[in-house]
Amino acid sequence: MVATKFRLEYSSNIGFATDQGGRGFQLPAHMAVRSDNRIFVASRGRGPTVGVQMVSREFEFFGKIGSQGKSLGQMIEPSAIAFDANENLYVADEKLNRITRFDYEGEVIDSWGQSGSEPGQFNHPSGLLIQDDVVFVSDALNHRIQKYTLNGDFIEQWGDRGLDGETLKNPWGITCANNGDVFVADWGNDRVVRFTEKGKFISDIRKGEGGDLSLNRPADVAVDKDDNLFIADWGNQVLQVFDWAGNFLTLESQEEDDAKEAQKEG
Amino acid sequence: MTTIEAATHEQLVAHLYRRAGFGATPQEMEQVKGMPYDDIVDKLMDFTSSDYFPTDFISRFHKDQSDLRLAEAAGAHWVYRMVMTETPLREKMCLFWHRIFATAGTKLIQHRVIVNQINMFRERGVGKFDDLLVGLSQDPAMLMWLDNQDNHGANINENYGREILELFAMGVGNYSEDDIKDTARAFTGWTVVNPEYMSIKMRNNTVRPYGYISWQYQYDPEDHDQGSKTILGETGNWDGEDAVRIICDQKATAEYIARHLYHFFVADEVPVPQWPHQAPRDEKAINLMVESYFGNGHSIKAMLETMFKSDFFKDESTRYARIKSPAEMVVGTMRLAGPIELPSDDTYYAQSVCSNMGQGLLRPPSVEGWQGGSEWINTGAYVERINFASKILNDPGKKGVEDLLNRIKNASDIGMLFSDQLVEACLTVLGPIEVAETTRDRLKTYAAKYGELSWDDEEATEYFNRAAISIIQLIVSTQEYQTA
């Protein structure tokens, strides 16, 4: 079903700024929700604030994974996090140019990657997606997407610096459609691109059909069960929502929602 | 033009760039080659274009520069601008005003508002002085820094009224205590939006779900003292803009700003607190700039033009007579190393080194700013300077360093250089810098260990790079490089 409107309702605010670690965040860069609804937040501030913090929707604070540093299990600029099917946690680090894997308990397992532009190397890994035991990494300053096994073995890559089609410019967030296609926030090109999981270009969105605001440095994208796209339009400081065909969706008002409910009841 | 005259002209241009900018890069020297001196001054003072600044790229890859709350992020942000600017004099003027209108994040807790203040200097810093002073008086960081949000019609706070007269525009001895009170009264109602709440937010650093918010200026007519005031002999129902107009019409104001400009760009003056008791170093120079101020509608740009084109500025005795401030030395060295095109820690390193050397950007020690001059140098600070410059230039992979190395190679037509020639070529591409003969001799003695240098193959090139960079590192350690 293709929606023409969507609803968003303010629920609550989680967190506050902290400089000293403990509860709260400093420069939260990315988040992921585990199957038990625990929220993991990559904080890339400095000193004791660096790491992946664990909280609940009610902002219970459970602790932090990792600390600032270069050793195995440590981080400097965590940029993206994702879970595999076994609920292991993967953390990309833009400064250390590596992916680190932690188990369910938060114990470090291993890491891979180093600085560079060859396959298996990174220059600011900014986005992570795990789908069917494949790790997709948005490799921002190499303008490409790389694919790895869960153990960090390189599979393949696509992308090169460019303006359109299969090329990219500083890609950031990455997520998947319900059919396994991959959406990439092509930050530097002000668009969101849909690829097959092999990297073949399918389509892109720069401005929603019917919308009046072109994307401006989109940072990330999330997909719901109907393949509607929720795009963090970083440059415009707004959330834009499109259906799978690229039609701009408008926010449904409370009045419209109430009217619908009344109609149903009537 | 004879060779000697050509060399003299080049040296004069290098002097101009050291003072009006951060020292010329070889590319900048190339751009103005053959141009008459006055045209080069005009080029440096062309403020019509704004610099390209990739805010999005920096905010993304240096996330702490999105909110600019912390001193390190804000300082690095400004360093980036100074390194990348194509209008170095505009950034130098920001440094100049930051030194006089010194505002620090230490009291304000956050630094974004001071970055906004520097942006205001960038916009108004070379225009009409009245506009700059109005901008300063409406600047939220300044309002909170000097407590003008507590300056009420029924109960004045004299802090800003005093400092605009004493430190920002006129200097001690040119106003009375009554002038201070009535100037403060003129600025009543000049405040920030929702001051009580914002004041609490400024200090309360814990529960802050929506992040740090910059203050916004607001005029509150209900809180303004509508009574008659007498400021510097003029009586009327004055508000802040009237006070600024009256202040800017004073000869003492023009003299004070001229003396500051001379102190910053020409030669070190005695510390500001001694100014009421000691005549300027060069009264004629001050008078020329004062004439320029009044003859051009209080234009700061006109004062600068008069100064840079005058004999007192060009005089050989002024060269290498000022110790570079930490920011001048650090930024100048980074400009030599080349543009910052990718996320880099160098800007953070730079702001931290400036701080270690006594010039924490956006963190002046007090409302009196930095005195500068010989205060910039002590044993520890000198070592810090040398270490920084040596480290930043110790990378043949950096674009600017690569360019320096290529230019040094181009000093030879035959694909090789003797060690003496290497030293001369390094001194040329780094300025040109004129060093004392003893220094030159020591550099050559040191360089002799490298013998004849060529760059025929990879191994020879690597050896040449190592030799050339070691000479560059020695040159940036000299007194001449550390002065302007």
The model's pLDDT over B325-346, given as tens digits with 9 standing for 90+, comes to 999 999 999 999 999 988 889 9
Q: Show me where the domains of chain B are located.
A: 3-44, 45-324, 399-482
Beta bridge partners of A108: A102
Arithmetic mean of pLDDT over chain A: 93
Q: Is the pLDDT of residue A81 over 80?
A: yes
Q: The domain that contains A205 carries what CATH number?
A: 2.40.10.500
For residue A104, being part of any structural domain is answered with: yes
B206 in contact with chain A, both atoms CB, cutoff 8 A: yes
Q: ipTM of the assembly?
A: 0.91
Could you tell me the residue range of the domain that residue A247 belongs to?
179-266
Q: Is the pLDDT of residue B206 over 50?
A: no
Amino acid at B82: M
B403 in Cβ contact with B335 (< 8 Å)? no
Q: Shortest Cα distance from B55 to chain A (angstroms)?
A: 10
Q: How confident is the model at residue B373 (pLDDT cuts 50, 70, 90)?
A: confident
Closest alpha carbon within chain B to A169? B57
A17 in contact with chain B, both atoms CB, cutoff 8 A: yes
For residue A213, being part of any structural domain is answered with: yes
Q: Quick check: B212 and A172 CB within 8 A? A: no
Q: How confident is the model at residue B212 (pLDDT cuts 50, 70, 90)?
A: low
For residue A131, being part of any structural domain is answered with: no
Q: Is B123 helix (H, G, I), strand (E, B) or coil?
A: helix
**Partner residue opposite A44 with nearest CB, options B63, B67, B211:** B63
Q: Shortest Cα distance from B211 to chain A (angstroms)?
A: 7
State the best of A27, A70, A115 to mutate against chain B, taking most chain B CBs within 10 Å. Answer: A27
B343 in contact with chain A, both atoms CB, cutoff 8 A: yes
Give me the numbers of helices (H) and strands (E) for chain A, helices first please.
Answer: 1, 21
Q: How confident is the model at residue B203 (pLDDT cuts 50, 70, 90)?
A: low
pLDDT at A3: 53
Tokens describing residue B267: 């030669």
The CA-based diameter of chain B, rounded to the nearest angstrom, is 82
pLDDT at B204: 58
Q: Tokens 């000193």 correspond to what residue?
A: A47
For residue A183, being part of any structural domain is answered with: yes
Q: Quick check: B60 and A15 CB within 8 A? A: no
Q: Write out pLDDT tens, residues B94-107.
A: 999 999 999 998 88
Q: Quick check: B64 and A17 CB within 8 A? A: no
Q: Shortest Cα distance from A168 to chain B (angstroms)?
A: 15
Query: Of B197 and B342, which is predicted with more confidence?
Result: B342
CA–CA distance, B258 with B303 (Å, rounded to integer): 7
My answer on whether A43 and A110 are in the same domain is yes
My answer on whether A117 and A187 are in the same domain is no
Q: Is the pLDDT of residue B62 over 80?
A: yes
Chain pair A-B, CB pairs under 8 angstroms:
35
Name the domain boundary from A79, A102, A123: A123
Q: How confident is the model at residue A222 (pLDDT cuts 50, 70, 90)?
A: very high
Average pLDDT over residues B262-275: 94
A235 in contact with chain B, both atoms CB, cutoff 8 A: yes
**Do the strands B453-454 and A229-233 form a parallel or antiparallel pair, or are they unpaired?**
unpaired
Average pLDDT over residues B123-135: 98
Q: Is B154 helix (H, G, I), strand (E, B) or coil?
A: coil
B75 in Cβ contact with B86 (< 8 Å)? no
For residue A162, being part of any structural domain is answered with: no
For residue A80, being part of any structural domain is answered with: yes
State the best of A16, A115, A236 to mutate against chain B, taking most chain B CBs within 10 Å. Answer: A16
For residue A132, being part of any structural domain is answered with: no
Chain A residues whose CB is inside 8 A of the B56 CB are: 217, 234-235
Q: Catalogue the long-range contacts made by B62-69 (C-beta closer than 8 Å, 24 or more residues apart).
A: B62/B343, B63/A27, B63/A29, B63/A44, B64/A27, B64/A45, B64/A46, B66/A27, B67/A27, B67/B112, B67/B211, B67/B212, B68/B110, B68/B111, B68/B112, B68/B115, B69/B110, B69/B111, B69/B112, B69/B212
**Do the strands A229-233 and A238-242 form a parallel or antiparallel pair, or are they unpaired?**
antiparallel
Centre a 10 Å sphere on the Cβ of residue A54 and count the other Cβ atoms it contains: 18
Q: Write out pLDDT tens, residues A188-213.
A: 999 999 999 999 999 999 998 888 89
Closest alpha carbon within chain B to A26? B64
Amino acid at B408: I
Closest alpha carbon within chain A to B55? A235
B342 in contact with chain A, both atoms CB, cutoff 8 A: yes
For chain A, percent of residues with pLDDT exceeding 70: 98
Q: Is the pLDDT of residue B208 over 50?
A: no
Q: Write out pLDDT tens, residues B382-436.
A: 999 999 999 999 999 999 999 999 999 999 999 999 999 999 999 999 999 999 9
Q: Quick check: B342 and A141 CB within 8 A? A: yes
Closest alpha carbon within chain B to A142? B342
For chain A, percent of residues with pLDDT exceeding 90: 77
B362 in Cβ contact with B111 (< 8 Å)? yes
Dihedral of CA B322/B323/B324/B325: which sign? negative
Q: The domain that contains A82 carries what CATH number?
A: 2.120.10.30
Q: Is the pLDDT of residue A137 over 90?
A: yes
Helix residue ranges per DSSP H, B101-208: 105-108, 112-124, 129-137, 140-145, 159-163, 177-186, 195-203
For residue A66, being part of any structural domain is answered with: yes
Q: Is the pLDDT of residue B2 over 70?
A: no
CA–CA distance, A155 with A47 (Å, rounded to integer): 35
Centre a 10 Å sphere on the Cβ of residue A103 and count the other Cβ atoms it contains: 12
pLDDT at B171: 96
A194 in Cβ contact with A181 (< 8 Å)? yes
Q: How confident is the model at residue B6 (pLDDT cuts 50, 70, 90)?
A: low
Arithmetic mean of pLDDT over chain B: 93
pLDDT at B106: 82
Count of domains observed in chain A = 2
Query: Of A164 and B198, which is predicted with more confidence?
Result: A164
Average pLDDT over residues B219-235: 97
Q: How confident is the model at residue B194 (pLDDT cuts 50, 70, 90)?
A: confident
Q: Quick check: B209 and A16 CB within 8 A? A: yes
Q: Quick check: B207 and A94 CB within 8 A? A: no
Q: Which of A1-15, A77-91, B126-140, B415-429 has the lowest mean pLDDT?
A: A1-15
Q: Quick check: B211 and A17 CB within 8 A? A: yes
Which span out of A205-214, B67-76, B300-309 was modeled with the highest average pLDDT? B300-309
**Partner residue opposite A29 with nearest CB, options B56, B63, B208:** B63
CA–CA distance, A101 with B446 (Å, rounded to integer): 52
Q: Is the pLDDT of residue A139 over 50?
A: yes
Average pLDDT over residues B196-218: 66
pLDDT at B403: 97
pLDDT at A44: 87
Residue of B460, B336, B339, B337 lying closest to B409 (CA atoms): B460
pLDDT at B210: 45
